[in-house]
Structure 1
Amino acid sequence: MYVADQTWPELGDYVAEESVAIVPLGSTEQHGPHLPLATDHLIAEGLAREAADRTGFLCTPTVNVGVSPHHRQFHGTMWVDAPQFRDYVESMTRNLAYHGIDRVVYVNAHGGNVQHLREVGRRLRDDGTLYAIEWMWDESIPDLVEEVFEYNGPHGGPKETAMIQHLAPDLVREEKLDAARDGGVRDVEAAEHLQKNGARIFYDAAENSENGVFGDQTDATAAVGERLFEAAAEQLVELLEWLDDRRLDDLLAPAHVDPQPGSRRE
């Protein structure tokens, strides 16, 4: 169920019986010469809508701009600073709590959002508002991703390329796949300039990839993208159903261990 397509009485019927919501989040940032800036939020929205269709749970509009300053040197990249992103997502989630939602899955497709969504979830849980968790699609199917690609990459690589070939094939510049591979970092594990003596010595993608991407994009196909999408969607559905079955009290922050502070004071 997509919230923006419903009327308010229909949503009243929903929250009278259900309390789960799905919030997709991505970014609008460079993904090399072959993929659109919309890559992350297209993947997040596609998976969130699919899971909502399969489960009947509520899906909100997508947050299309995320924490992406590390891609700012590339044309078109948009970002918000981390504190403003956290506050925005927290405020939006509190809106859901006001209407009766008490558990949320942030369906995320941008690595730069991860730590900030985790922090928002902690804030909301610790004050007893609701239980919110971050879910990253590729982290739900790591074995499959490793199986299908010889040279994977964390950004603009074959996994994201395959997903967009499946979800929005008209937006993939197929004639640029070779250039994406040759102008980027094909083998991330062999890239010596990514760290030194155990320290990450870079802050921006432009410091280690000329065209902003990593991995071998020529390994990607729409068929592989469909496999990834279906596998990740199944993982998300299972997570949502697990979450729906939990008692809210069991999800919120546990009490301080005994003895309770002040319990022996007179």
Structure 2
Amino acid sequence: MPEPSLPSSTETIRLQLRSWPEVESYLERHKGVIVPLGSTEQHGPTGAIGTDALTAEAVALEVGRRTGVLVTPTQAFGMAEHHLGFAGTISLQPSTLLALLHDVVLSLARHGFERIYVINGHGGNIATARAAFAQAHASAASRGLSNADRLRCKLANWFMAGPVMHTARELYGEREGHHATPSEIALTLHLEPSLEAKQRPLPEPAPAGPIHGPEDFRRRHPDGRMGSDPYLASAAAGARFLDEAATALTADLEAFLSDDPAAAD
């Protein structure tokens, strides 16, 4: 599969800024596409509700800029049922998210895209996304899509990239926690400086524990955090996380595009 040429700016790799003839021309040379996937959910008393979508989009656009691979609009709603006890959270049920991702993959495959690379910013999306990929593969075959046997989907969780996790441990240790983490908050501070005004010291967070329904989550984690101290976050660290995530995922995407079976989910 040919390597895309490096674009000059993120505008040139945004699918929504291309015309359909331009996309057809792209598909004559390249078969890869990046789909940013996030969530709209509480991130503690000082974190932005759009954190997971903001970060997934930023990483996706930087990976697209480095590789020349087209980036679709961000899917900003995810599976966040357990956060519905907090105002502002908007969640899709797992079945809804599965159907949405299934239809996105099939729409792209119909046009000739064969490598669907989903850059995800929310842990709650992982199981559903993988199930959606399995269903989309089956549907592509049953519907007789000409490229069904070549269709591959892969989920890349930017926050789980090796260098990102290593830096988070180095900077924050156990204060990284499991939700409203300083690493993800740092990236939002880098992306949107106005969020600095929300930062303030917070009391000790509730420790991470099992996740059940929204009422149970609110009872166990009354301010929405799970063992994290987002006040440790800084915009400078956010810039570092963005570069580390984009570097790791760029290499992963290039392997995925190379037809290496080991690189596909």
TM-score, scaled relative to structure 2: 0.84
Alignment of 1:199-238 (within 5 A): 200=210, 202-204=212-214, 205-214=217-226, 215-238=228-251
Contact 2:159 2:184 in 1 (8 A): no
Question: Which letter maps to 2:35?
Answer: V
Q: How many residues align?
A: 238
Runs of 4 or more, structure 1, over 6 Å off, are 250-253
Q: Structure 1 residue 34 and structure 2 residue 55: aligned?
A: no
Distance 2:249 2:263 in 1: 18
Contact 2:255 2:263 in 1 (8 A): no
Q: CA deviation at 1:117?
A: 0.7
Alignment of 1:79-98 (within 5 A): 79-98=91-110
| 1:153 aligns with one of 177, 195, 201 | 177
Change (3 A) 1:209 1:173: farther
Q: Structure 1 residue 240 and structure 2 residue 253: aligned?
A: yes
Contact 2:153 2:264 in 1 (8 A): no
| 2:167 aligns with one of 135, 139, 144 | 144
237-246 vs 200-209, which moves further: 200-209
Question: Which letter maps to 1:80?
Answer: L
Distance 2:39 2:180 in 1: 13
Q: CA deviation at 1:155?
A: 1.1
**What is the CA deviation profile of residues 49-95 of structure 1, one whole-angstrom value per residue up to 9, with x for unaligned ones?**
11111110011000011111100010011011111110111101111
Distance 1:177 1:228 in 2: 21
**What is the CA deviation profile of residues 201-244 of structure 1, one whole-angstrom value per residue up to 9, with x for unaligned ones?**
74443132111013112221111111111000001111111111
Distance 1:183 1:82 in 2: 32
Q: Structure 1 residue 167 and structure 2 residue 188: aligned?
A: no
Alignment of 1:180-195 (within 5 A): 182=203, 184-185=205-206, 188=207, 194=209
Change (3 A) 1:216 1:100: same
Q: CA deviation at 1:107?
A: 0.5
Question: Which letter maps to 2:185?
Answer: T
Distance 1:46 1:138 in 2: 12
Distance 1:201 1:110 in 2: 14
Q: Structure 1 residue 45 and structure 2 residue 57: aligned?
A: yes
Q: CA deviation at 1:124?
A: 2.9
Q: CA deviation at 1:115?
A: 0.5
Change (3 A) 1:69 1:237: same
Question: Which letter maps to 2:161?
Answer: S
1:263 matched residue in structure 2: none
| 2:88 aligns with one of 76, 82, 87 | 76
| 1:121 aligns with one of 122, 133, 138 | 133
Distance 1:102 1:116 in 2: 20
TM-score, scaled relative to structure 1: 0.83
Question: Which letter maps to 1:92?
Answer: V
Distance 1:114 1:247 in 2: 22
SS at match of 1:149: helix
Structure 2: state its 5+ residue gaps: 1-12, 142-147
Larger-gyration structure (1/2) = 1
Distance 1:245 1:110 in 2: 27
Alignment of 1:103-118 (within 5 A): 103-118=115-130
**What is the CA deviation profile of residues 93-145 of structure 1, one whole-angstrom value per residue up to 9, with x for unaligned ones?**
11100111011111000111011111112223455532111111111132222
